[in-house]
Structure 1
């Protein structure tokens, strides 16, 4: 707990003051100009003055949501740091105002339904333009009554298409009320139509603990439904509900109490400024994980110490996965080594390119043996003994295709990395990592592991091709993805007598040809794992990359279909001997 609070204190002096319960008005962000109070007590019908993009020439990060994003007049109700604050206020400091507008147009008291029915989305949408990013966080008010004479803001539970006809007791108008998921889909469609990027954010958790002393999660309702819509629509998702609950559990009850207004100890939803600062940092970590170029390039120095959020999917137990074996021991082999982007086995509708590449080979001449396994990095594929199994099947004349990188990033020793992170570069340096059981591991660089694979396979008389990772769904339109991993692969291949293909760019070039809409239909999740269509596209790209090499070691084993694929080397790199 102490290191975390210390880090927040360095990032923002106000947080330290709040956590110590001694905040003063001089540490509180400057409040916006006071606005006249709305006469109508229904927030959906009020017309509060909302911020607009400060510089129309810049891209914008636009926030929509409820009071947990922007509370009241965004001034802490005149109570300074101990008032109620939404995370949309402190998050602005994590971005460079000279590079991007951060526009917080959330309104307290609203649901996903009333932000639309009250006309607030109609007022906000004109500010959304191509290249912008819009983050939506609703849910806290969606559980209210669908029809009453107080707020009439509830939505139908779930993400379905069901609806309910009502005569709104508050507005006096007839209205068709839809599900929570239906409204989120309306935002997503409208944002996409503008050429902007929608991101769904799950609602922050309440200050409540279960019988086991853990902070209550919302996976059974709005947090889970937000995740489901993001998955269905294949848009970026920030699980703020889980990220914040996990952090609350780590901090402990006493520290969490200080993240909510001390003057109102019964408050369970709205944080004080310290809590808003914590949630803002978690949202930034979620945005970093999505790797959107427009946001990555606009981060301020204050965001430098925030690590990208990691997903909470368990790493598949390798002991429970039966490795492939050559079908015919008399034939040569094409071995495939990698992670879940190479082999996912249909989990949550995901497939890797290694599972769809067999038709490009003549199986009467060669065995295609896929040893890829989800959740692995260049480091763990070796340390878990997976590589030894490949070597045990390998013989002279075989071909080995190796693709790692998706799980190699992050900081060594960070529990969120699940023991997978490798060192940066291609050098011999190591970092000592203390594992959960107390044992210590000398962790090598990414290039060291790749070089070992090359050397071991060459010693067996096999040919090796290193492939840079397939790109993320949202990182191919501008610039390139996995630049450092491609560079390290190329260096290792050149030094070790292997070949290198820039699969990242071969796939990216292919994506540019088919367009963003079709690319989006190739993924089973928000940005990483392909579905069957995407796996087939990437498998063909691998063959194109191999055929683009000066000397394709797999050429003798290609089927007529594989030989017909035109060779490609990617727009920024050539195959290297």
Structure 2
């Protein structure tokens, strides 16, 4: 069996977290728990939009290392929607243009791009109704996937259904909600409506793995634990120095010195 790799390009919902940010977990951090015989290389970085990930050389690094037959999972939207800081993209404009660069770059190297919509934020109104701040980005990704014949994994729609069923209170157990003193990394507590804890991230990763199998993007022997519970204690976090090193190194065509102090 050929040793293959699954590269991940995405934002903070995907990235692997260092120990200093535990118990915050990205779904890419735990995808390997559902995959065997293939290496998951999580190049996602917090604060990245489809634009900034490419402009800062992170897509270049992936394309310098990806090989024929590898997969490239692309998941952006949470940062693309933020205006005013050079990372914003219009859903049916720059967003689709940048996503095309990921598709063409992977295919030019014999690799296979896959689109994964971002999971939705946790936003409820005063009446308990869930809002969808990601708006048109998942729709724009779906449209582009159809036009370019790219496999499409709709994590956004799946997450919306789960968040609604869990409700405003139940979703606090999935997202990074901590009381003061509950965790040493967040001594004052935190109420984060974007980032997940282990259980939420594990189930998002399980969804991604199941869709990869259902769409025959990998053959069945590549999957494990799809129907098995995984304890939150099994989640591993990067040492902080390793996290910093990978952040600086995974920038194609640039030196770490050029990028130091500018990466998120």
More RCO (CA 8 Å, sep 6+): 2
Alpha-carbon deviations, 1:462-482, whole Å to 9, x = none?
A: xxxxxxxxxxxxxxxxxxxxx
Q: 1:219·1:225 contact (CA, 8 Å) conserved in 2?
A: no
Are 2:18 and 1:75 equivalent residues in the alignment? yes
The alpha carbon displacement at 1:274 in A equals: 1.9
The alpha carbon displacement at 1:285 in A equals: 2.5
> Which secondary structure does the structure 1 equivalent of 2:222 belong to?
coil
The alpha carbon displacement at 1:154 in A equals: 1.4
What's 1:63 paired with? 8
The alpha carbon displacement at 1:304 in A equals: 4.2
What's 1:95 paired with? 35
**TM-score, normalised via structure 2 length:** 0.76
The alpha carbon displacement at 1:212 in A equals: 6.5
> Which secondary structure does the structure 2 equivalent of 1:291 belong to?
coil
What's 2:97 paired with? 182
What's 1:140 paired with? 78
What's 2:206 paired with? 281
d(CA) in 1 for partners of 2:75, 2:43: 11
Are 2:154 and 1:239 equivalent residues in the alignment? yes
What's 2:176 paired with? 261
Q: How many residues align?
A: 218
Q: 2:15·2:45 contact (CA, 8 Å) conserved in 1?
A: yes
Q: 2:123·2:130 contact (CA, 8 Å) conserved in 1?
A: yes
Q: 1:216·1:245 contact (CA, 8 Å) conserved in 2?
A: no
> Which secondary structure does the structure 2 equivalent of 1:189 belong to?
helix
d(CA) in 1 for partners of 2:40, 2:96: 26
Alignment of 1:290-439 (within 5 A): 290-292=215-217, 294-300=218-224, 302-304=225-227
d(CA) in 1 for partners of 2:223, 2:148: 27
The alpha carbon displacement at 1:117 in A equals: 0.6
The alpha carbon displacement at 1:126 in A equals: 1.7
d(CA) in 1 for partners of 2:9, 2:175: 22
What's 2:260 paired with? none
Alpha-carbon deviations, 1:316-370, whole Å to 9, x = none?
A: xxxxxxxxxxxxxxxxxxxxxxxxxxxxxxxxxxxxxxxxxxxxxxxxxxxxxxx
> Which secondary structure does the structure 1 equivalent of 2:176 belong to?
coil
Alignment of 1:93-172 (within 5 A): 93-96=33-36, 99-146=37-84, 148=85, 152-155=86-89, 157-160=90-93
The alpha carbon displacement at 1:296 in A equals: 2.9
The alpha carbon displacement at 1:75 in A equals: 2.2
What stretches of structure 1 of length at least 5 have no aligned partner?
Answer: 1-56, 161-178, 307-577
Q: 2:67·2:110 contact (CA, 8 Å) conserved in 1?
A: yes
Higher helix proportion (structure 1 or 2) = 2
Distance change (3 Å), C-alpha of 1:244 and 1:133: same
The alpha carbon displacement at 1:288 in A equals: 2.4
> Which secondary structure does the structure 1 equivalent of 2:113 belong to?
strand
The alpha carbon displacement at 1:231 in A equals: 1.3
The alpha carbon displacement at 1:217 in A equals: 3.3
> Which secondary structure does the structure 2 equivalent of 1:89 belong to?
helix
> Which secondary structure does the structure 2 equivalent of 1:101 belong to?
strand
What stretches of structure 2 of length at least 5 have no aligned partner?
Answer: 179-188, 230-264
Distance change (3 Å), C-alpha of 1:201 and 1:211: farther
The alpha carbon displacement at 1:297 in A equals: 2.7
The alpha carbon displacement at 1:269 in A equals: 0.5
> Which secondary structure does the structure 1 equivalent of 2:139 belong to?
helix
Alignment of 1:35-74 (within 5 A): 58-71=3-16, 74=17
After TM superposition, the runs of 4+ consecutive aligned structure 1 residues lying more than 6 A away are none
d(CA) in 2 for partners of 1:250, 1:232: 32
The alpha carbon displacement at 1:225 in A equals: 1.1
Distance change (3 Å), C-alpha of 1:214 and 1:127: farther
The alpha carbon displacement at 1:218 in A equals: 5.6
d(CA) in 2 for partners of 1:274, 1:193: 37
Distance change (3 Å), C-alpha of 1:221 and 1:254: same
